Amino acid sequence: MTPNIQKHEMTVHVIAGSFKLPIRNADPRKADMLLRRALGSGQVVLAGGGRTVATQTHARPRPFPALKDPLDPSCPLLQAGKRKAEEQMTVLDQLSKICLAGGGEKGIALHVKKHGKMLPRDKLKHLLDPDSEFLELSLLAGLGMEYGDVPAAGSIAGIGRIHGVYCMVSCSDGTVKSGTFFPVTVTKNLRAMDISGANHLPMVHIVDSAGGFLPKQAELFADKKHGGRCFYSEAVHSAAGVPQIAAVCGSCTAGGAYQPAMCEDVVIVSGIGTIFLGGPPLVKAALGEVISAEELGGGQLHSRVSGVTDYLAETEQEGFEVVRDVVATLGIDPPPLAPPRQEDTWDAALLDGAAAFTITTTYF
């Protein structure tokens, strides 16, 4: 494939999904070879003078074939790999326990005893179907940050079933610094929203957040994947027909107030749910007026006066029942059952030791 065109007029594009890479002043043969090596597949389009000259499509790589011969359990490399895998699983379990503990005993006591709220993972049990598994995403996010550990980034995100419908759920963890948003929290929420939009999964927000973490507020809007991107994604996904639902089970302050307000269906829990840009302390500092959080942005106000929320629940349990009813009326059919699982050809436990230390290690 040699287009009759001057070298300096040549532009090469590689199209692989949403990936596009221009290479100017390229020799077509060399560019084609390099791009195939770099990407392995995709479509190479050679264009010059504003017009397409030639197109070449490369075959997609084949899936990894099934192993024809069983692995030898006594193989020294396999045994060494298994020991290494066990060490790594131990570390993974330790880190997972840190994140599953949320804000620790102090944060949990403040959340439950003082504020009388359900723990975040208990909320998921009331929201999801009793037999639903929960595919949690980004559990270890927030560990080892330069500003300290933020277990699970202060948010629980994952996929579960509500009335048989797979939904993406994002739940603020009020035990971790009152559910404030760190930069990593925003990144995690955006990841969940991207998956929701790409797979047309209804997005359910369980909100209990004091807003942005003020010492890091400058970084919340540092690039296109932070801050306002959450509201952009919410609007775009809603316009595309992806349902946006919110349950307000605590404070929604400052930027956090926009999230439920932009949803199509919003339920707020009386007595503990509030939505406002500036809380009572800010009102007092700015206007000298004393007002309670419930009067400023509670359930009665937003359900009867402002119209920001659609449903008023007396308890969190009732609020989750309302969310379940909303999902049930979306008209989304549950997905078909998966075909019966095929039995493993070989013992899957051997895979623990099959992870090579380097890409050049071979086992058979």
Q: How far apart are CA 3 and CA 55, in angstroms?
A: 10
Query: Which amino acid is residue 229, in one-letter code?
Result: R
Question: What CA–CA distance (Å, rounded) separates 36 from 196?
Answer: 32
**How many CB atoms are closer than 10 A to CB 208?**
28
Q: Which tokens sit at 185?
A: 């929290």
Confidence label for 78 from pLDDT (cuts 50, 70 and 90): confident
108 vs 261, higher pLDDT = 261
pLDDT, greater one: 264 or 224:
264
DSSP-derived letter for residue 82 is H
Hey, what CATH topology would domain 90-328 get? 2-enoyl-CoA Hydratase; Chain A, domain 1 (3.90.226)
In this prediction, residue 275 carries a pLDDT of 93
DSSP structure class, residue 128: S
pLDDT tens for 105-125 read 878 877 776 677 899 999 999
Contact in structure between 129 and 151 (CB atoms under 8 Å): no
Q: Is the pLDDT of residue 13 over 60?
A: no
Q: Where are the domains of the chain?
A: 7-58, 90-328
Q: For residues 212 and 255, is the Cβ–Cβ distance under 8 A?
A: yes
As a whole number, mean pLDDT of residues 86-97 equals 90
Q: Does 236 score more than 50 pLDDT?
A: yes
Backbone angles phi, psi at 163, to 5 degrees: 50, 40
Q: Given a cut of 80, is residue 225 above it in pLDDT?
A: no
> Can you give the pLDDT at residue 291?
93
**d(C-alpha 31, C-alpha 245), whole Å:** 48
pLDDT digits (tens, 9 = 90+) for 118-157: 999 999 999 999 999 999 999 999 898 888 888 998 899 9
| Residue 166 CB contacts under 8 Å (≥ 6 apart), including other chains | 159, 160, 201, 335
What pLDDT is stored for residue 43 in this prediction?
45
pLDDT at 321: 97
* End-to-end alpha carbon distance in the chain: 40
Please tell me the least confidently modeled range out of 149-153, 221-225, 325-329, 348-352.
221-225
Predicted confidence (pLDDT) per residue in 308-319, tens digit: 999 999 999 999
Percentage of residues in the chain having pLDDT higher than 90: 42
CB 327 within 8 A of CB 167: yes
Residue 160 has pLDDT above 90, yes or no: yes
The predicted model gives 212-220 an average pLDDT of 76
Residue 294 makes CB contacts below 8 A (sequence gap 6+) with 271, 274, 300, 301
In this predicted model, what pLDDT tens digit does every residue of 173-199 receive, in sequence order?
988 887 788 888 888 999 999 999 999
Q: Which of these, 282, 284, 235, lies nearest to 258 by C-alpha position?
A: 235
Mean pLDDT lowest for which of 122-136, 197-211, 212-226, 237-251? 212-226
Instruction: Please give the mean pLDDT across all residues of the chain.
Output: 79
- Taking CA atoms, 205 is separated from 182, 294, 298, 359, in Å, by 17, 21, 18, 41
Length, in residues, of the chain = 364
CA–CA distance, 206 with 80 (Å, rounded to integer): 44
pLDDT of residue 284: 92
pLDDT one-digit tens code per residue, 272-296: 999 998 889 999 999 999 999 999 9
Q: What is the pLDDT of residue 360?
A: 61
Most confident of the ranges 60-64, 90-94, 180-184: 90-94
- Helices 316-328 + 120-127 axis angle, to 10: 40
Res 12: pLDDT: 40
* H-helix or E-strand spanning residue 226: none
Q: How far apart are CA 203 and CA 170, in angstroms?
A: 8
CA distance 59 to 41: 6
Single-letter amino acid, residue 113: K
Tell which residue, 179, 174, 126, has the closest CA to residue 313: 126
Please tell me which residue, 166 or 223, carries the higher pLDDT value: 166
Q: Is the pLDDT of residue 24 over 80?
A: no
Q: Closest by alpha carbon to 198, among 172, 168, 221? A: 168
C-alpha distances in Å from residue 198, one per residue of 234, 241, 263: 13, 12, 18
